Amino acid sequence: MPHLQFDLNKKISKKNKKEFVNYILKVFSQIMKTGKDHVAVTIREFDKMSLLLGRVNYGDSVCLMNLDIRKGRTSIQKRELVLSYIEGVTNILGINKRNQYVTFTEHKGQDFHLVEKCLEKWSIDDDPLNK
C-alpha cells in the first residue's frame, strides 16, 4: 500500500486538495502500473516557518514529499513520478519547482497491510485489491 506524503508550509483550499489528490492517484497508477484502491495519500499543512528546504529563503512555500512504495519499480519510473509530482505541486498548489524535495522509501510488499491482506511483491499492471 503506497503511502504518498506531502508536507506543505501553506494552506490549500479544499477544492485544490481534491484536485491534487485525484492527480496524485491518477499519475501514480499510470506511471507505477498499478491500481488506485490501495494507495494512501497524506497532505500535512504547517505554518510558513515550520518547514525549510536549504536552497530556498526561510518562509518561502515548500513541499517535502516522502513516497513509501513497494520495491521493484525502475529508476525511470521513479524519476518520471518525481517530475510529474513536482509539476502537479507547481500547477495545482502553486509551489515553485525549486522549492520541492522528494524522497523514496522502498518496502517489501509484505510490509504493507490492509484489513483484507498484506500486499504481494509488485508486478506490472498490479491491482492488489482486485485480484
What pLDDT tens digit does each residue of the chain (131 aa) get? 789 999 999 999 999 999 999 999 999 999 999 989 889 999 999 999 999 999 999 999 999 999 999 888 999 999 999 999 999 999 999 999 999 999 999 876 566 555 564 556 655 666 665 65
Structure-block grid coordinates of residue 46: 504547517
State the pLDDT at residue 106: 84
State the pLDDT at residue 15: 98
Q: How far is CA 68 from CA 16, 93, 131, in A?
A: 23, 21, 22
State the pLDDT at residue 109: 59
State the pLDDT at residue 62: 98
State the pLDDT at residue 38: 86
Q: How far is CA 10 from CA 44, 47, 50, 61, 90, in A?
A: 9, 6, 10, 6, 13
Query: Can you give the residue ranges of every domain in the chain?
Result: 3-118
CATH code of the domain occupying 3-118: 3.30.429.10
State the pLDDT at residue 103: 95
